[in-house]
Homo-oligomer: A and B are copies of this chain.
Amino acid sequence: MSEAVNLRVCVIGLGSMGFGVATSLLKKGFKTCGYDISAETTARFVAAGGKGAVSPAEAAAGADVVVTVVVNGAQTEQVLFGKGGAAQSMSKGGTILSFATMPPQMAEELAQRAGALGLNYIDGPISGGAKRAADGELTIMASGPPEAFNHVRPVLDAIAMTVYELGDRAGIGSSFKIVNQLLAGVHIAAACEAITFAKALGLDIDKVYEVITASAGNSWMFENRVPHILHGDYSPQSAVDIFTKDLGIVSDLGRGMTFPLPITSTALQMFIMTAAAGMGRDDDASVARLIAKVTGIELPGQPEAA
């Protein structure tokens, strides 16, 4: 344990997920240096007991493990290999833990570039939301060389409740995450379509929630997101823009493979319509507000769209 804590860790990206990851590491006794593109956010991490830095390279100086918790593959590439990037300054033989959802091929490319610098790379998209990040209870769908997993095991133990080790090369973790996001996104859009349709049919939608969550029509997302609609609360636990992005990745990937994804594409269009109506940064259950707007039905406690 004391040896474990001797790993020097760097967290790049201190948004709602990264901040929770970095503070979970502090709580478990890791020396943790954090960097965010917003100096204000970095300062908040310093106030929470962490070490701050003015660039990824400075944050990663001498680090054994660099954790990237940025939005997508392009940002991951930038903070690792761009100007002032982390890859150049971290310890040789160190391990990069990449948490963004990205196309599998991009994860493979980043792993190759890391390998060329003598670094290990774990492709480990996360899920679980901000609260579970703060509680050290993320789920990680990860792939990479077994020795890299062994190296970062204490870090993973500190931040995740469940780590799926899905294969020995980058790209596999991202592929699993993409399949999960396909389903999650479709299920959110379907939940919004169903609950607004139920309202249009004149049903008591609280009762619909009770019946459906005990029936064959249930999904994890129906159960989790429909309460936002029932309470009229669209403060972003996960924003519309996240699924516009993630289903965009799925859709691009399918087209590149000449693999038809009709349901995914339709769900993606509903997220895009919702973003176009000005709700991109609101909770993803806002797809229901879009449908309500279009059809004129009234949902509970509906605030004006941002």
Bits for A249-293, please: 1 = Cβ < 8 Å to B, else 0: 010011001111111101101100000000000000000000100
Considering only CB atoms, which chain B residue lies closest to A208 in the complex?
B179
Q: Give A169 to B127 CA distance when docked, in angstroms.
A: 44
What's the minimum C-beta distance from A101 to chain B, rounded to whole angstroms? 12
Q: With A190-B187, A194-B182, A200-B257 as given contacts, are A215 and B269 in contact (CB-CB < 8 Å)? A: no
Among A216, A222, A257, A294, the most chain B Cβ lie within 10 Å of the Cβ of: A216
What chain B residues lie within 8 Å of A193 (beta carbons)?
182, 186, 261-264
**A217 contacts chain B at the CB level, 8 A cutoff:** yes
Question: Which residues of A line the B interface, CB within 8 A?
Answer: 104, 127, 139, 141, 162, 164, 166, 172, 175-176, 178-184, 186-187, 189-191, 193-195, 197-198, 200-203, 207-208, 211-212, 214-222, 224, 250, 253-254, 257-264, 266-267, 269-270, 291, 294-295
Number of this chain's copies in the assembly equals: 2
A-B contact pairs, 9 of them (CB 8 A): A141-B211, A172-B203, A175-B201, A178-B201, A179-B197, A182-B197, A183-B218, A200-B257, A263-B263
Residue in B219, B253, B266 whose CB lies within 8 Å of A262: B266
Q: Which 5 A-B pairs have the closest CB atoms?
A: A183-B217, A219-B219, A180-B217, A175-B201, A186-B190
What's the minimum C-beta distance from A195 to chain B, rounded to whole angstroms? 8
Considering only CB atoms, which chain B residue lies closest to A127 in the complex?
B216
Q: With A166-B211, A295-B259 as given contacts, are A186 and B183 in contact (CB-CB < 8 Å)? A: no
A259–B217 contact, CB under 8 A? no
Q: With A220-B217, A295-B259 as given contacts, are A175 and B202 in contact (CB-CB < 8 Å)? A: yes
What chain B residues lie within 8 Å of A198 (beta carbons)?
175-176, 179
A217–B187 contact, CB under 8 A? yes
Q: Give A186 to B212 CA distance when docked, in angstroms.
A: 14
Q: With A194-B179, A211-B166 as given contacts, are A260 and B294 in contact (CB-CB < 8 Å)? A: yes
Q: With A183-B194, A194-B183, A208-B176 as given contacts, are A162 and B214 in contact (CB-CB < 8 Å)? A: yes
What chain B residues lie within 8 Å of A262 (beta carbons)?
193, 266, 269-270
A212–B179 contact, CB under 8 A? yes
A197–B261 contact, CB under 8 A? yes
Considering only CB atoms, which chain B residue lies closest to A174 in the complex?
B201
Q: With A211-B166, A270-B262, A294-B260 as given contacts, are A183 and B219 in contact (CB-CB < 8 Å)? A: yes
What's the minimum C-beta distance from A184 to chain B, rounded to whole angstroms? 5
Q: With A172-B203, A179-B198, A203-B175 as given contacts, are A216 and B220 in contact (CB-CB < 8 Å)? A: yes
What's the minimum C-beta distance from A9 to chain B, rounded to whole angstroms? 26
